[in-house]
Amino acid sequence: MNIILSFAVIAYYTYATVYGNVYFRAKNPINEWWSNTIIYQVYPRSFKDSNNDGIGDLKGIIQKLDHFTDLGIETLWVGPLFKSPMDDMGYDVEDFYMIDPVFGTMDDFEELVFEMNKRNLKLMIDFIPNHSSYKCEWFDKSIKQVGKYSDYYIWRNASNHDELSNSSITPKPPNNWLSDLGGPAWTWNQRRNQFYFHQFGKEQPDFDLRNPDVKLQLLDVMEFWMFKGVSGFRFDAVNFLYENVSLLDEPFLPGKSNSTEYKDLDHIYTKTQPENVIIVLEWRAFMESYTKSKNQSISSLMATEVYSDYNILMEFYGNSTNPGAQVPFNLALVKCEKGDDLVESIDTNIKYWLADLPENAVANWVIENHDNLRMSSKIGALTVPMFAALKLALPGIEVTYYGFEIGMEDNMYLRPDQVTETILVTISKSSKTRDYERCPMQWDDSINGGFTENKKPWLPVNPNYYKLNVESQKKIPNSNYNFYKKMSQLRKTDTLKYGDLQTYNITKSIYILKRSLLERESYIVIMNFGSETETVLLSNIIHDVKDELYVYLGSENSAYNTGSIVSTVPSTGNPVKLRPQSVVVLSDKYIAPETPTINIQNAGTRIGSTLISLLSVLLLLRFLL
């Protein structure tokens, strides 16, 4: 079958089944600055502390900008910076026009933009359009029913409103809707004598996005920050923006009647409403209109966070007439777990995403973020270069969570008294906290991993920082850091920017990608997710592969060095033998072997010792003779 579709990095793709596997043929490049970019997610509290108060800040990010240029990163996505009481670590905004003092000042933000522009880096920031903090001035005015602010939020009478004249009667919520974090989605406000709605914590009242004044207010916020120099926004919690106006009770899932657990309701009225897509298209139109009004030659970038099925996510791309988000985050792999079906999950995500892409769309690949455990902790530390090779070799936009480049692991050593997150733990009464994956970046082996000189960072640094850090990995040729860096460099080649893609789901352990482009070199990525060494005869898998290939790059545990030659045919004695939990990247282009790195100091010591030994022998011979 041949299905014409648009896809990924900078190209449309034709999708077909070839030799039992999947082939995506590229054509018609899309030349935008974001088409093949690497987006690096900075969690500001945890990245770098410049003033030693124990919390990361804007000046800390500025100090580390050369880290991004060294890795080949082009776009920074910086987490919530707006003024906030931090009940949800910044996703509860008190003032949408102000930098929270814990991160610095507006001058610091402007300096960040200036320094990024000098390095040709783009800035994308978190934007929270679904709700504000309950400490926001707009919410206080809404409680008091001051002018237009009266209906900024979703207010409803109690379901037993007529009975409340009796002071002994407890107000009942308008319906059975529940918060995504657990507990009721309605909280009674004694001052206004009504319930307000919140998809998340009671500290995060939802905006009424059906109110034109609210929509205009949010556009004003977007314009404010675009004027300050941001190149795009990541829109948070987009699937929760609208609710059905009927206020009907949500039905229970089969066998779950009368449950008070969020997971036991079918959320047909509080999620995935058609208006969610419509407002995203409106926001994209506004952003494009703004850039044109300022005579800017480049478009702004729009990313959306939606955990949903593929068909729902594709709607957020919009179409050629009404474009939507360029990056509806592909979050399926974020939920991957260790197990026999890992390779199948990876293969399914790639095939579904590329096959379903609408015209003029670009694929994106996300495996980690601030709300989910890291792959190094869930699946294993050895898999980090495997996932790096996978997502950096795929066509489209790649998203990296801070610390992935060194294989940072979640700090599972946190004691209960060290957990700082309040919303998730308090509301859902869960032992799960997102603090594990939000611990400070590990820069070197100094105190607190070089994150801060304060005795007590906001969260403890993972104890393994003494050996797992940026500076130590820079010195190791095949470390996670240098593996990531070399794969980032490979992404700049025409083959990976514009080339065709073939995927091969071979076994429950072996997964293969091939990228090729006419009159250019080809690259083959082989990953072994299994527990045993596997022999891979590529000539039995890829019909047009050359008899010999060169190693472009191998993970530290792969036993392959750059420039080594491997055979693809069974008749020779040098086929690919890949160790468990390792990856190798091959090319049909000659690659010179790497010159071994010599430690000058140690070499000098060895030479000196050798000379002394020779001198001793000569003296002994002279004595004997």
Residue 66 a catalytic site member: no
Residue of 121, 310, 300, 133 whose CA lies nearest to 222: 300
Give the pLDDT confidence of 30-49 residue by residue, as tens digits: 889 999 999 999 999 999 99
**pLDDT for the residue numbered 359:** 81
Catalytic residue among 94, 305, 315, 437: 305
Whether residue 386 is predicted with pLDDT greater than 50 in this model: the reply is yes
- DSSP letters of 383-413? GHHHHHHHHHHSSSEEEEETTGGGT----TT
pLDDT surpasses 70 at 14: no
Q: Is 305 a catalytic residue?
A: yes
Q: Name the band, by pLDDT with cuts 50, 70 and 90, for residue 378.
A: very high
CB 490 within 8 A of CB 15: no
Is residue 159 within 8 Å of 175, Cβ to Cβ? yes
Strand order in the sheet with 155-156: 155-156, 194-197, 186-189
Q: What per-residue confidence (pLDDT) applies to 486? A: 98
- Low-confidence winner among 200-204, 356-360, 458-462 (lowest mean pLDDT): 356-360
CB 156 within 8 A of CB 266: no
Structure confidence at residue 338 (pLDDT) = 87
Q: Is the pLDDT higher at 612 or at 8?
A: 612
CATH superfamily of 28-130+215-241+268-485: Glycosidases (3.20.20.80)
Instruction: Count Cα atoms within 13 angstroms, Cβ side, for 161.
Output: 10
Nearest to 24 by CA among 346, 313, 345, 355: 355
Write the pLDDT tens digit of every residue in 119-150: 999 999 999 999 999 999 999 999 999 999 99
pLDDT digits (tens, 9 = 90+) for 297-329: 889 999 999 999 999 999 999 999 999 999 999
Q: Is the model's pTM score more than 0.85?
A: yes
Residue 2 reports pLDDT greater than 70: no
Spacing of C-alpha 474 from chain mean position: 23
Predicted local distance difference test score (pLDDT) of residue 422: 66
* Range 109-114 average pLDDT: 99
Architecture of domain 494-587 in CATH?
Sandwich (2.60)
Local structure of residue 138 (DSSP, 8 states): H
What pLDDT sits at residue 426? 52
Res. 561: pLDDT tops 70: yes
Q: Pick left, alpha or beta for residue 85 (phi over 0 → left; psi -120 to 50 → alpha; otherwise beta).
A: alpha
- The larger pLDDT score, comparing residue 503 to residue 11, is at 503
Give the pLDDT mean for 573-595: 90
Q: How confident is the model at residue 27 (pLDDT cuts 50, 70, 90)?
A: low
Strand extents, DSSP E, 3-67: 3-7, 11-18, 21-27, 38-42
* Residues near 446 by beta carbon (within 8 Å), at least 6 away in sequence: none
- pLDDT score at 9: 34
* pLDDT tier for residue 622 given thresholds of 50, 70 and 90: low
Number of H helices, E strands in the chain: 16, 24
Q: Which of 108, 236, 243, 588 is catalytic?
A: 236
Query: Does pLDDT of 620 surpass 70?
Result: no
pLDDT given at position 432? 74
Share of the chain above pLDDT 90, in %: 79
